[in-house]
Amino acid sequence: MSLIELVLDDVFINIMSRFLINIVVIFLIIRVIYYRYARKEEFLFSFFLMGIIVFFICSILETVELQLGMALGLFAVFSILRFRTVNYTVKDMTYVFVVIGVSVINSLANIPPPFGSALAINAIIVIAVYSLELFYQQNSLSNVIVVYNKPELLVPALKEDLLKDLSERMGQDVKKVKIRKVNLSSGNADVEVYFRDRDMNQDKLV
Using alpha carbons only, how large is the chain's radius of gyration in Å?
24
The dihedral over CA atoms of 149, 155, 157, 160, expressed in degrees to the nearest 10, equals 40
**In 3-state terms, what secondary structure has residue 197?**
coil
159 with 202: CB under 8 angstroms? no
Instruction: Identify the sign of the CA torsion 40, 42, 47, 52.
Output: positive
Residue type at 113 in one-letter notation:
P
The reported pLDDT for the residue numbered 200 is 41
Strand partners for 174: 195
Q: Where along the chain do its domains lie?
A: 3-139, 142-205
The reported pLDDT for the residue numbered 131 is 94
Average pLDDT across each block of 10 residues of the chain; the chain has 206 residues. List them in order: 51 84 95 88 87 86 59 59 63 88 85 77 94 84 83 85 87 84 82 70 41
Of 3.30.530, 3.30.450, 3.30.70, 2.60.40, the CATH number of 142-205 is: 3.30.70
Distance CA(140)–CA(134), nearest Å, equals 10
The reported pLDDT for the residue numbered 74 is 58
Angle of helix 10-26 relative to helix 41-63, nearest 10 degrees?
Answer: 160
Q: Is the pTM of this model over 0.75?
A: no
